[in-house]
Amino acid sequence: MNVLQGLGRIAHQSLRRNICTTLARRSTYESDGKTSVTILNKEAEAGLMINSYSQYGFRLNNDMVVVGPMAIFSRTVLSWNVESHEDINDESLSLFCAIEPKIDVLVVGIGDNTITPAFSKKIIDFMKRHKINVEVLGTEQACATFNFLNAENRVVAAALIPPITLRINEDDLMQKQIAVSRTFEVSDK
């Protein structure tokens, strides 16, 4: 059983690394020796926003998909090397202390795990030593908080882990019913 879990973890990490690398290196080569690069976010003023999330990762407003945990800033996104909320420690948070300009707020989304006072205190104490405000939330609330603060042009970053389970609400059910009903529509053309 442990061997299968180990192989599954290796396959997951390899897939995440390959997809993120593939998405990050989109460029074309033209015959006259010039190289062009596709800019992922064409509206420089808009910044990055999180459009949706799943158990596998996140979709951003520029249609980029990030597989697995991510560190997102106003205009940059990185793969965050943690497997679960248990891997969040001083080392995994040190990235957010080393960047310039210094961030005002770090939003930490720990998936759908229960936030305990001891866990929050550990993160808050570390970030407090570096004079950075921090919010420890579930991923759903963390995505909304990051988007709100980023839209206000705050210097914000988020460290997000995809949830294991997803909540389904009435809007999700209605959207599914609409999609199913459109499957059987006949075009007049």
89 Cβ contact list (under 8 Å, min separation 6): 122
CA distance 50 to 29: 30
- Per-residue pLDDT tens over the stretch 78-102: 988 888 888 888 898 989 988 888 9
Q: Are strands 133-137 and 105-110 parallel, antiparallel or unpaired?
A: parallel
Mean pLDDT of the chain, nearest integer: 77
pLDDT for residue 188 = 67
Q: For residue 8, is pLDDT > 60? A: no
CA distance 122 to 102: 20
pLDDT for residue 128 = 92
pLDDT for residue 189 = 60
Task: List strand residue ranges (DSSP E) for the chain, in order.
Answer: 27-29, 35-37, 50-53, 57-60, 65-67, 70-73, 77-79, 105-110, 133-137, 156-161
pLDDT for residue 40 = 42
- Per-residue pLDDT tens over the stretch 101-137: 899 999 999 988 778 888 889 999 999 999 999 999 9
Q: For residue 20, is pLDDT > 70? A: no
- Report residue 110: phi and psi, to 5°: -100, 35
Give CA separation, 48 vs 22, 76, 80, 85, 109, in Å. Answer: 19, 7, 16, 23, 17
pTM beyond 0.95: no
Q: Which of 141, 128, 127, 51 is nearest to 93 (CA)?
A: 127
CA distance 63 to 49: 10
Domain ranges of the chain: 50-181
The H or E element spanning position 120 is: helix 117-129
What percentage of the chain reaches a pLDDT higher than 90?
31
pLDDT for residue 38 = 41
Cβ atoms of residues 157 and 72 within 8 Å: yes
Q: How does residue 70 score in pLDDT terms, banded at 50, 70 and 90?
A: very high
Topology annotation, domain 50-181: Hypothetical Protein Mth938; Chain: A, (3.40.1230)
pLDDT for residue 86 = 83
